[in-house]
A and B are shown apart, each in its own frame.
Chain A
């Protein structure tokens, strides 16, 4: 990785942190638990990295690690979004 490339990635990271701060401060305390489980599901984006590792042609230690990562990340994504939906379904106004 060239250092200029690294700088660009850091740019993106810092700006995304600011977007995150702006968005999250507007979430009311009532929804803090679904916010946690929902954002948790989003952090399961590591699944993209897991796919790239598990999909190698040669079967090596990288593939094994990728497979376990794939399982972990999928639990995170599927479990996270489903449980968030299950919770949000309950929030009703009479």
Chain B
């Protein structure tokens, strides 16, 4: 029986790998997700036949309760709420790892036929810490994205020393536990301190840095599963966890590159000037002059004369739920024979690929969504760049102004196109808290208004022409 279980785990691992492999193209991605789910199903079913599983009522209870909650979440969450949803799911994964490690500890303590040894004790400590940090860290990330916890950068005196202190405390408690695993208090202490550390690590991270935080927590949730695998000496958990851990790390690196910042800088809590009116905002060469504002009627005429258009969506489009209005505009423009494409910055929105999901929801074809590398050279040959709710990712200061906090960040070269139309609700600065000199460029036009209304109005005016 054990051999059969092990072989089934191997099959499940292979299915996970094929599943992720098929995610490399939107054509096969859905099939890939199905294969991964099948792998999970096999792993669950064979585990039920494990010799240690003797009663089923709690397993079934847990499965029904969790299954109903999970299915409700999956179907009820709107597409704009995907970052929160992923954040929350990360948390449940981490929480499960924490609880399994705890449960495993009490098994060893309460049953005479289980025994302690150093290797097991070390893996229990690791599993507790990673699981707990992932759990509370993800809950805070969820809270920030949902607007329950402040999305601003949170800073307080002694923040970094406190985190270092807690971390050292964890290591010390871990060492003592390995020496004397019968001390139950140490296990509780490690879990509680790690839970607190998870809160403190994510709390300082600002809203627009969430793509990094979510990717990192995604990686942690995988590593937590792996750590649990080490506790249980289960290859299946180690392999699946490692795959997810690697995935999260890669996304984290991509997000950090997209902001030209180190992971440490993001984790430490945002741009130096973020969320404050500190000196950095005012000393940076403040662009001067008049912005040119335009109304929907005039703008419609400019669009009517254009041949190629690139739309740059940002978090503002998600907030205004403007993706369907944007789809209507795109359909109308295309029916007039114009070439319309989307340029998507790696860190647009609140999680990797956030904009793509929203546009896909509005039934916009995925071959029109281009990444920064794919489209950046096309801006000089473009008549209009329409920016909807994006700011820092199109700020030319990242190229020109060595004093700017975002200097060196890769940006979309919208200013090279013939006309840049910026839809914004007001002249407020973006997340980095700095002015955008683009608004004052001679080829820039400000089109003020809520993204959804403004885009719908433009579509209406175009129809009336």
Contact = CB atoms under 8 A, between A and B. Distances in A.
Q: Are A and B part of the same complex?
A: yes
Interface in A8-57: 9, 12-14, 16-21, 23-57
Given A60-B110, A85-B30, A1 B62 contact: no
A40 B95 CA distance: 13
Q: Size class of A's contact patch?
A: 35 or more
A44 B40 contact: yes
B309 interface: no
B54 A57 contact: yes
Given A5-B233, A75-B66, A57 B55 contact: yes
Contacts of B287: none
Contact of A49 (B234, B357, B361): B234
Given A29-B356, A43-B241, A78-B66, A92 B363 contact: yes
A93 B31 CA distance: 16
B95 A72 contact: yes
Contact of A16 (B238, B250, B254): B238
A12 B73 contact: no
Contact of B100 (A21, A56, A69, A82): A69
Contacts of A43: 90, 93, 218, 221-222, 224-225, 240-241, 244
Q: How many residues of B sit at the interface, in one of the four size bands?
A: 35 or more
A83 B54 contact: no
Interface string B232-251: 11111111111111111111
A52 B225 contact: no
Contacts of A87: 79, 82, 357, 360
A81 B118 CA distance: 36
B99 interface: yes
Interface string B9-44: 000000011011101111101101110110110011
A85 B353 contact: no
B52 A56 contact: yes
Contacts of A63: 58, 103
Interface stretch (B165-173, B344-352, B406-414): B344-352
* A contact face: mostly helix, strand, loop, or mixed: helix
A45 B236 contact: yes
A19 to B, nearest CB: 6
Contact of A55 (B54, B69, B229): B54
Interface string B364-390: 011101010000000000000000000
Contacts of A42: 16, 19-20, 36, 39-40, 222, 240, 243-244
B44 A56 contact: no
B74 A79 contact: yes
B63 A70 contact: yes
- Give the most central of B96, B119, B250: most A CB within 10 Å: B96
A17 B93 CA distance: 19
A35 B231 CA distance: 27
A1 B23 contact: no
Given A25-B250, A55-B53, A74 B66 contact: yes
Given A49-B237, A72-B92, A32 B44 contact: no
Contact of B344 (A29, A53, A94): A29
Given A54-B59, A67-B58, A73-B93, A36 B215 contact: yes
A49 B228 CA distance: 7
B209 to A, nearest CB: 16
Given A27-B24, A37-B89, A62-B103, A81 B40 contact: yes
B100 A46 contact: yes
Contact of B43 (A16, A28, A45, A54): A45
B99 A45 contact: no
Contact of B65 (A23, A71, A79): A71
Contacts of A47: 40, 43-44, 96
Contacts of A56: 52, 54-55, 107
Given A39-B248, A40-B244, 15 more contacts: A13-B239, A18-B246, A19-B246, A23-B247, A45-B236, A46-B96, A52-B232, A53-B99, A65-B102, A71-B62, A75-B92, A80-B70, A86-B75, A87-B360, A92-B360
Interface of A: 1-3, 5-6, 9, 12-14, 16-21, 23-57, 60-63, 65-94
| In the A-B complex, the 6 residue pairs with the closest CB atoms | A74-B66, A70-B62, A20-B246, A32-B353, A78-B70, A79-B70
